[in-house]
Structure 1
Amino acid sequence: MDVQRMILVGALALISYTAVLKWNEDYGQPAATASVAQTVSSADMPSAQPAANASDLPSTGAAASTTDVASSKPTNSLISVHTDVLDLRIDPHGGDVLYAALPNHKERVDTPAQPLVLLENNGSHTYIAQSGLVGTNGPDANADGRPQYSVAATSYTLGKDDKSLDVDLNTTTAEGVKVTKRFTFTAGSNLIKVSYLIDNQSQQPFSANMFGQLKRDNAPDPSQQHGMGMRSYLGPVFSTQSERYQKVTFKDLDEGDKFKQDSTGGWVAMLQHYFLTAWIPAEGDSKQNTYEARKSGSNYIAGFVEPAVTVAAGQKGEISAGLYIGPKDQDVLRTVAPNLNLTVDYGWLWFIGQPLFAMLKFFHSIVSNWGIAIILTTMVVKGIFFYPSAMSYRSMAKMRKFAPEMQRMKEMYGDDRQKMSQAMMELYRKEKINPLGGCLPILIQMPVFIALYWVLSESVELRHAPFYGWIHDMSVMDPYFILPIIMGCTMFLQQRLNPTPPDPMQAKVMKFLPVIFTFFFLWFPAGLVLYWVVNNCLSILQQYIITRKIENEGKTA
């Protein structure tokens, strides 16, 4: 009978495993995106929809110029720029960045030839970086629309031996003011310097405010993997004097709320899973930038406006800001702007997450494998909690040892619960047993578990990081659910070392816990499941040694 039961259970488990694999194949994987050739081809063509209209541009309260904007040799082709870390398309109409791909970060681990596309402007998704000059004489506030820039070429490439690359977009106003919008790229850097060089050869002073903004629709985060669990924040964030890290959610903007604040220094960013874009105004001792978030049609806009800069007649001037387009690399973000590293958000347990990440980075610098780094980190964490875990396992071992005595008391006192409780408490006191000790290992590990979940989910360094065998990405779920099944088996073995609960219903619930946990862990990141498997194995070893020692104490006495 037992053999037949085992065969039926095994067959049911195999069928369930196959069904889950098929479900994950059909619904659990992100849809494949367009090929690189298709993406680049569509980006090279001018957008069918205008990148910005009058309602998108910030208002400064100053009267806009009504003079015509003239330019020599304008182009309608998007300007392509290639560096070692960026692949951009710039619209000569206004000079907005309509497309940005990151060659060093792949869209998916199984499509190594396809770079991750962060900015794009097409029929299905709008996410662009805009900038311009508004105010009294700003060409972007002109009554006839945004300026049409001319360029020397429509394709630029930063050479292997080049340290920097300047891409100049030129226009001249009817009054004779020459405006050059310069994008400066640096080798190995995702930070772009966007400058406005103003040569005022007119007879009147030129006054304008530089603005930079990020425009995005409410499309889902394309870099967020499908699966169960907590989601990374998607939306605008600001850093100002009053609050160094402040989220302004899409929901807030949908409900009509607007964010507007003046601050010296600061920045504005649009976050998604692992990546961000950010505008960082140039620092000034007393310069008050205006930061704002609002909804325009179906899109959300977050940006800044600098104070007006005046260039006297016959003089030259420059206004600039930084545009970061890239990954959430804490070490890099610290150098770009103060507090920008806070965009790597480890949640309310950040004070645990940051040391865990530092430990992971340390071990990775030695072993060059994030999976091994997770195993070594688990061993360190287990060592930190060794003593409280040992106390708990000792208490459970004693409960297991004295289980026959507890059963005898239950038979002796029958339904007299008061006497039964008194006898049990006396036994616990005499043998120094903590009946709640079994919960301690899980309770003390839960904060570490949650913090590590955020570390694995938020740290771009672990994105597409392979382990061994079938695990090609530690930041997403095990494609064949092997690690969760191993985790469930280790949890079952650990449960066998625990004393059987006296309550039959509680005992049945405990037997199902490994199955329930296995189901929940199916869609957790493989790195997190690896942590739990290693932790369970170390716990089993520790608990087994302590249990054998406690049981042998009575035999040798």
Structure 2
Amino acid sequence: MSITKIMDTKKLILWIIFSFSIMLLWHQWQNDYKQNQYIQTANNSITDSTTIIPNIYHDTKKYDTGDLINVKTDLLDITLDCLGAQIIKVKLLKYPSLMNKDEGTILLDKNDKNFYVVQSGIISNKAKEEFPNHQTNFTFNKDDSIFLGNQKKLVFEANVNNVLLKKIFLINEKSYNIQVIHKLTNNNKETIYPSLYLQIERDGNEPYGISKFYKTFTGFAVFSNKEKFQKISFDDITKNKQKYIKESSNGWIAMVQQYFTTALIPTPGINHKNEIVKINDLYKNTYVARVIENLEQVLPNHTISNTSNLWIGPQDQNTLSQLSEGLDLVVDYGFFTIIAKPLFLLLTLMYKIFNNWGWSIVFLTIFIKLIFFPLSSASYKSMAKLKDIAPKIQSLKEIYNEDKQKLNIALMDLYKTEKINPLGGCLPTLIQIPVFIALYWVLLSSVEMKGAPWILWINDLSAKDPFFILPSLMMLTMFLQIKLNPAPTDPIQAKIMMIMPIVFGFMMFFFPSGLVLYWCVNNTISIMQQWFITKNLYHS
């Protein structure tokens, strides 16, 4: 590459942080998380006869409902269906919906447009032997259920082939974690060998309220001590390319989306199988992630019990890490997680000081800019020197207009005489890029931004600026940065530089205000630092 091109190209480096972030999001969406094309995948069917789950997927009964039971806590509004004793709707009351601020965010739902439920049941090691499962009609036991107090208790019962299954849901008033107890009684004269399955089933639709201008991961996740954290996208499942640990005695499975997760945590120490499949349905294609636990044999007139945990709620990293190992990893920070984790801890520390996530973003950005000030200083000094010798560069271009080789030699001599490194403005900025991209993902993926106010008109840092004030300020700061930097000698590049603030500013109209606030503060501090350094340089 010629020296002229190096000099012109480095003027675009200041925008790499923004463009790289956008391109990274777009790339991930296109290649990993795009909506599936509903390709028929016969290989996804379960062939192990010991783990056959009731096949009702070509039956309209999938969309039927039985008697509905509703329970509400301070945090959750839950609807359970007596058909299967399954959870078919959950509303998160502390997180306002982007569609309606007066309503909580709907996470689970079962209707004509959306299908996202949690189910469980018992299967036999004999192919034709049926036990209570998620297509069985259960009876709600009002006498044993408790709706008052800090812990609700809901009891459902079903008897199939002299096997009685009691499903007990223990729902705490102040927790998103639900204890699910399965009590199995064998009223037969013979010993039975049952297995318990717990599953999350949902369609491939985008979650409620997700913006079309930025994408985060939506799909399943599996964790075990052996393989650690594994993500499985809908597209991988459709193409039968899903890779995850198939058997384990620990860990969990989860459905992950921006801000929220639904996680099934089976009983630790019991061997279980993990299965993630696509169900090709005549009405709606769905995806299922399940764990299947081999229960102990049940002698005649004996009862066994199994307890598992079900988390339906926000990606609260602190609480999730205490509930089960690795569960906090459902917060998706992308490629730069190793940098993003410490940044989130710093952001949390700022929140403890200011008790406002908006001001925490402001002061964390200031803190990071101060840390990188030596690198920024070197970059700004290099750009200031280049701007100072711009007339000499232009003069050399006019002299050697027809001879690029001589022009490059002359430019090298000029840089050597003026003691300027033509790449001096690029390298310091490139070093900082991973940190700023990591902070970008922290602000985009952290549920703490959901419904969090800043000041005046910003009452939700996860939503776009309702009056577009922050995006407008961001465009202004980008124009100011352009004016402070040496003008590109190439007219085409000069036009691109002037258009970029408008393009990015328009995109920011639809981005979360917390992200735009971060970019505004970052740009403003960059302008102040550059002005201060340049002024002192010329003064000296």
Q: TM-score range by the shorter chain?
A: 0.7 to 0.9
Matched, 1:105 2:105: no
Q: Specify the alignment match of 2:106 in structure 1.
A: 117
The offset of 1:154, in angstroms, is 9.8
Residue number among 320, 326, 339 corresponding to 1:339 in the alignment = 326
Kindly indicate whether residue 507 of structure 2 is the aligned counterpart of residue 534 of structure 1: no
Report the alpha carbon displacement of residue 105 of structure 1 after superposing the two structures with TM: 1.7
Alpha-carbon distance in structure 2 between the residues aligned to 1:156 and 1:526: 44
| TM-aligned CA deviation for residue 433 of structure 1 | 1.4
Q: What are the within-5 Å matches in structure 2 for residues 433-452 of structure 1?
A: 433-440=420-427, 442-452=429-439
Which residue number in structure 1 is paired with residue 232 of structure 2?
A: 248
Q: Distance in 2 between matches of 1:145 and 1:449?
A: 47
Asked if 1 retains the 8 angstrom alpha-carbon contact of 2:132 and 2:165, the reply is no
1:241-299 CA-partner distances (Å, limit 9, x unpaired): 44222222222332355767111212111122211111111011xx3201101122222
Larger deviation: 372-381 or 478-487?
Answer: 478-487
Cα distance per residue 1:295-347 (max 9 Å; x no partner): 22222111011013212234332122211111111111112211111110100
Q: Supply the AA of the counterpart residue of 1:216.
A: R
Matches within 5 A, 1:229-244: 229=214, 231-244=215-228
Corresponding letter in the other structure for 2:327:
L
Aligned to 1:61: 50
Match of 1:392 in 2: 379
User: Residue 255 of structure 2: which of 249, 264, 270 is its match?
Assistant: 270
| Displacement of 1:77 | 2.0
For 1:199 and 1:375, locate their aligned partners in 2 and report how far apart those are by CA, in whole Å. 59
Q: Give yes or no for the alignment of 1:289 onto 2:275.
A: no
In terms of Rg, which structure is larger? 1
- 1:372 pairs, out of 354, 359, 368, with 359
**Counterpart selection for 1:221 from 184, 207, 210:** 207
Measure how far apart 1:438 and its partner are: 3.5
Residues 288 and 307 of structure 1 are in contact (CA less than 8 Å); yes or no, is this contact kept in structure 2? yes
Q: Partner of 1:85 in structure 2?
A: 75
Instruction: Judge which range, 436-445 or 383-392, deviates more.
Output: 436-445
Deviation for aligned residue 1:58: 9.6
Percent identity of equivalent pairs: 37
Amino acid at match of 1:380: F
Q: Distance in 1 between matches of 2:173 and 2:128?
A: 31
Matched, 1:359 2:350: no
Cα distance in 2, alignment partners of residues 119 and 274 from structure 1: 14
Q: Does 1:181 align with 2:164?
A: no
1:148 counterpart residue number? 137
Tell me the amino acid that sits aligned with residue 182 of structure 1.
Answer: I
**Partner of residue 126 from structure 1, selected from 115, 133, 142:** 115
Q: What residue identity is the alignment partner of 2:238?
A: D
State the distance in 1 between where 2:193 and 2:150 align.
33
C-alpha distance in 2, partners of 1:144/1:186? 25
* Segment of structure 1 superposing worse, 503-512 or 292-301: 503-512
Paired residues of 1:371 and 1:467 also in contact (CA < 8 A): yes
Structure 2: unaligned runs, 5 residues or longer: 1-43, 55-64
Structure 2 Cα separation of the partners of residues 406 and 112 of structure 1: 57
How far apart, in 2, do the equivalents of 1:460 and 1:157 lie? 31
Work out which structure has the larger RCO, using CA pairs closer than 8 Å and 6 or more positions apart in sequence: 2
Q: Distance in 1 between matches of 2:394 and 2:233?
A: 58
Q: 1:328 maps to what in 2?
A: 315
Q: Distance in 2 between matches of 1:144 and 1:403?
A: 77
1:311 pairs with 283, 298, 320, which one?
Answer: 298
Amino acid of the structure 1 residue aligned with 2:93: P
1:376-403: per-residue Cα shift (whole Å, max 9, x none)?
Answer: 0111110111001101111122222233
1:277, 1:96 → 2: CA distance? 14
SS of corresponding position for 2:416: helix
Structure 1 window deviating more from structure 2 (132-141 vs 446-455): it is 132-141
> Which residue identity lines up with residue 50 of structure 2 in the other structure?
G
Q: Which moved more, 1:371-380 or 1:505-514?
A: 505-514
Partner Cα distance (1:191, 1:550) in 2: 59
- Match of 1:366, SS? helix
Q: 1-side partners of 2:51 and 2:475: how far apart? A: 66
Q: What TM-score, normalized to structure 2?
A: 0.81
Correspondence for 1:72: none
Note if 1:488 corresponds to 2:469: no
Number of positions where the alignment pairs a residue of Structure 1 with one of Structure 2: 482
Matches within 5 A, 1:7-86: 61=50, 76-86=66-76
1:364-419 CA deviation, whole Å, 9 max, x = no partner? Answer: 11112111111101111101110011011111222222334434545555645444
User: Could you tell me how far apart the structure 2 residues matched to 1:431 and 1:272 are?
Assistant: 54
How far is 1:142 from its partner?
Answer: 4.1
State the shift of 1:546 in Å.
1.9
Contact map agreement 2:119 2:134 (CA 8 A) in 1: no
- TM-score, normalising length from structure 1? 0.79
Q: Give the unaligned 5+ runs of structure 1.
A: 1-54, 66-74
Whole-Å separation in 1 of the counterparts to 2:399 and 2:51 = 91
Q: Structure 1 pair 94/271, CA: closer, same or farther in 2 (3 Å)?
A: same
Give the counterpart of 1:423 among 404, 410, 421.
Answer: 410
